[in-house]
C-alpha cells in the first residue's frame, strides 16, 4: 500500500488530495453545524458555496482545460435552476419524497443544460477567441431574456407553458385548472418554491463534479481536449476531431452547471432570471482565473475564499466591494507581473515545481 502511494504520479496524488480535502471540509463543517457553532448566515452560505464550487470547476473545464473563454456560464446555471424548480414543483404530489425529487430535479437540470449547451455549442465552437467569448455572453443574455418572458404553471393536466412576448400575457393566460401551482411568473421568476436543497446534497454534487471533471481530464478524452487547447493544428495533425472534443468538454461543462443551478434554485424560496446574468458569469470566471486555469483544487479554494470574503468584510460595510475590487486587481498584478513575482519569490522560498501536466 505504501509502495502503491509512492509509485503514484504527482497528478494522481493531487487528485486524491483534492477529494480528501473536500471530504474533510464536509465532515468538519457538518460537525460544527451539529455542535451549533455556525451562525445562521454561515449555514445559509453552505449550499450556495457548493453550487459555486461546481460552477467554477465546470467552467474551469471550458476555460482552463479547453482553453475557450466563456462569459455565459450563468446561462446554463439559469436553465438548470428553472428546469429544476419546474421538476420539483410539478412532481410534488406524485413524488412526495424530497430526496428523490431533488435528485430528479438535478438530473433534469443537467440534461436540459446539456441540450442547450449542445445547441449553442455546435455553431459557437467554430468561432475562436474573443468572438467565442462575446457569443457566449450573448447567449447568456438571450437565456435571461427568454426566461424573463416565461410563464409556467402546473395543474392536473400537466405543465402549461407560455411565452409572454409582447407583455400582454399573465398567469391567467395559462388557463390553469384547479389545484394548480404557478411555477414561473415571467420577470418575477419562480416564487414559493419548496427549499429541498441540503448541504449534504451540495457535498455529493461537488464530489460528483470533481470525479467527472478529474477523471475526464486524466483520460484519453481530456488529453485530446488539452491538446486542442495547446495547439489546435497539431491536434488535428494527430487525428483528433477538434469539434467533437470541444463539444464534449463544452456540453459536460454545461451539464454540470445545470445541475448546480438546479441545486441553487431549490435552495431558495424564490429565484429570478436576473440572478443569473452576466455579472454571475463573471463572478465564476473570477473564481476560475484566480484559482488558476486548469487547476481544479485552485478553483475550489478560490471559490470558497472569494465567496466568504465579501461576507467577512461586512464590518467595512460600504467599503467591502471596493476592497474586493482592489484585492482582485492586486492579486492579478501579483500573480501575473514578472517584477511582482520576482519580488515575491525573494520573500517566499521557492516552491517545489508542480507536476508537468496538472493542466
Partner 1 sequence: MEFLSYLITGISLGSIYAIIALGYTMVYGIAKMLNFAHGDVIMVGGYVAFYSMTYASGSLLGDSPSAVATGLSTLVCVLLAMAVCTVLGIVIEGLAYRPLREAGSLAVLITAIGVSYFLQNAAQLLFGANPKNFTPVISGQLTLFGGQLRISYVALLTVAACIVIMVCLTLFTSRSKMGKAMRACSEDKGAAQLMGIHVNRTISMTFAIGSALAAIAGVLLCSYSPVLLPTTGSMPGIKAFTAAVFGGIGSIPGAFLGGILLGIIESMAQAYISTQLSNAILFAVLIVVLLVKPSGLLGKYVPEKV
Partner 2 sequence: MAKKVFEKGKMVPVPSHSIIPERDLYKSPILECSHLGIDFGGLAAVKDFNITVGRTEIAGLIGPNGAGKTTVFNLLTKVYHPTRGTILVDGMDTAGKTPAQVNRMGIARTFQNIRLFNNLSVEDNVKIGLHNQTRYNALSGILRLPNYWKQEKMAHESAMELLSIFDMQDLAGHKAGSLPYGAQRRLEIVRALATNPSLLLLDEPAAGMNPSETVELMENIVKIRDTFHIAIMLIEHDMNLVMGICEGICVLNFGQIIAKGTAEEIQNNPVVIEAYLGKQKEG
Residue nearer to partner 2 on the CB measure, 102 or 235: 235
Residue 309 beta carbon to partner 2: minimum distance, rounded to whole angstroms: 29
Cα 122 from Cα 40, distance rounded (Å): 44
Residue nearer to partner 2 on the CB measure, 235 or 288: 235
Cross-strand pairs, 155: 158
Contact status, residue 311 vs residue 318, Cβ threshold 8 Å: no
The DSSP secondary structure of 136-164, one letter per residue, reads HHHHHHHHHHHHHTEEEEEETTEEEEEE-
Closest CA relative to residue 224, chosen from 65, 50, 4: 65
Report the b/e string of 165-177 with b at 16+ CB within 10 A: eeeeeebeebebe
294: left (phi over 0), alpha (psi -120 to 50) or beta: left
* String marking each residue 157-186 x if it binds partner 1 according to CB under 8 A: -------xxxx-------------------
Q: Which residues contact 163 (CB under 8 A, 6 or more apart)?
A: 146, 149, 150, 151
Residue 355 beta carbon to partner 1: minimum distance, rounded to whole angstroms: 20
Question: Residue from 43, 130, 215, 355 that binds partner 1 (CB under 8 A)?
Answer: 130
179 phi, psi to nearest 5 deg? 50, 40
12 near partner 2, rule: CB under 8 A: no
Subset of residues 198 to 237 that bind partner 2, contact rule: CB under 8 A: 211-212, 215-216, 218-224, 226-227, 229-231, 233-237
Subset of residues 224 to 283 that bind partner 1, contact rule: CB under 8 A: 232-233, 278, 282
Cα 87 from Cα 101, distance rounded (Å): 8
Residue nearer to partner 2 on the CB measure, 211 or 322: 211
Residue 135 beta carbon to partner 1: minimum distance, rounded to whole angstroms: 5
* String marking each residue 159-198 x if it binds partner 2 according to CB under 8 A: ----------------------------------------
**What is the CA 68 to chain-centroid distance, rounded?**
16
Stretch that binds partner 1, among 80-88, 133-141, 202-210, 295-303 (CB under 8 A): 133-141
Residue 123 beta carbon to partner 1: minimum distance, rounded to whole angstroms: 5
Cα 95 from Cα 251, distance rounded (Å): 29
Binding positions for partner 2, rule: CB under 8 A: 9, 211-212, 215-216, 218-224, 226-227, 229-231, 233-242, 248, 252, 294, 355-357, 359
Binding positions for partner 1, rule: CB under 8 A: 63, 69, 123-124, 126-128, 130-131, 133-135, 137-139, 141-142, 144-146, 148-149, 164-167, 187, 232-233, 278, 282, 285-286, 289-290, 293, 318-319, 321-322, 324-326, 328-329, 332-333, 335-340
Amino acid at each position: 500500500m505504501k509502495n502503491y502511494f509512492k509509485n503514484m504520479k504527482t497528478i494522481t496524488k493531487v487528485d486524491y488530495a483534492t477529494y480528501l480535502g473536500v471530504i474533510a471540509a464536509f465532515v468538519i463543517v457538518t460537525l460544527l453545524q451539529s455542535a451549533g457553532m455556525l451562525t445562521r448566515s454561515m449555514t445559509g452560505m453552505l449550499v450556495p458555496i457548493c453550487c459555486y464550487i461546481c460552477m467554477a470547476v465546470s467552467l474551469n473545464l471550458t476555460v482552463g482545460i479547453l482553453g475557450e473563454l466563456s462569459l455565459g456560464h450563468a446561462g446554463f446555471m439559469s436553465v438548470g435552476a428553472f428546469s429544476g424548480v419546474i421538476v420539483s414543483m410539478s412532481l410534488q404530489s406524485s413524488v412526495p419524497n424530497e430526496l428523490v425529487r431533488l435528485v430528479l430535479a438535478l438530473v433534469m437540470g443537467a440534461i436540459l443544460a446539456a441540450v442547450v449547451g449542445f445547441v449553442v455549442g455546435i455553431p459557437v465552437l467554430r468561432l475562436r477567441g474573443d468572438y467565442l467569448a462575446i457569443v457566449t455572453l450573448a447567449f447568456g443574455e438571450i437565456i435571461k431574456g427568454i426566461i424573463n418572458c416565461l410563464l409556467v404553471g402546473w395543474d392536473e393536466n400537466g405543465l402549461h407553458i407560455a411565452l409572454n412576448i409582447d407583455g400582454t400575457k399573465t398567469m391567467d393566460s395559462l388557463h390553469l385548472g384547479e389545484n394548480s401551482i404557478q411555477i414561473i411568473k415571467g420577470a418575477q421568476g419562480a416564487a414559493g418554491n419548496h427549499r429541498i436543497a441540503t448541504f449534504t446534497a451540495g457535498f455529493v454534487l461537488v464530489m460528483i463534479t470533481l470525479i467527472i471533471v478529474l477523471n475526464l481530464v486524466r483520460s484519453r478524452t481530456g488529453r485530446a481536449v488539452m491538446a486542442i487547447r495547446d495547439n489546435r493544428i497539431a491536434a488535428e495533425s494527430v487525428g483528433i476531431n477538434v469539434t467533437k472534443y470541444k463539444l464534449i468538454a463544452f456540453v459536460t461543462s454545461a451539464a454540470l452547471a445545470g445541475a448546480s443551478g438546479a441545486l441553487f434554485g431549490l435552495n431558495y424560496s424564490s429565484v429570478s432570471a436576473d440572478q443569473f446574468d452576466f455579472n454571475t458569469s463573471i463572478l465564476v470566471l473570477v473564481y476560475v482565473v484566480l484559482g488558476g486555469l486548469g487547476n481544479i483544487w485552485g478553483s475550489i479554494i478560490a471559490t470558497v475564499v472569494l465567496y466568504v470574503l465579501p461576507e467577512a468584510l461586512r464590518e467595512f460595510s460600504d467599503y467591502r466591494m471596493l476592497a474586493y475590487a482592489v484585492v482582485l486587481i492586486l492579486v492579478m498584478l501579483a500573480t501575473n507581473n514578472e517584477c511582482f513575482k520576482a519580488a515575491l519569490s525573494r520573500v517566499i522560498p521557492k516552491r517545489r515545481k508542480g507536476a508537468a501536466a496538472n493542466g
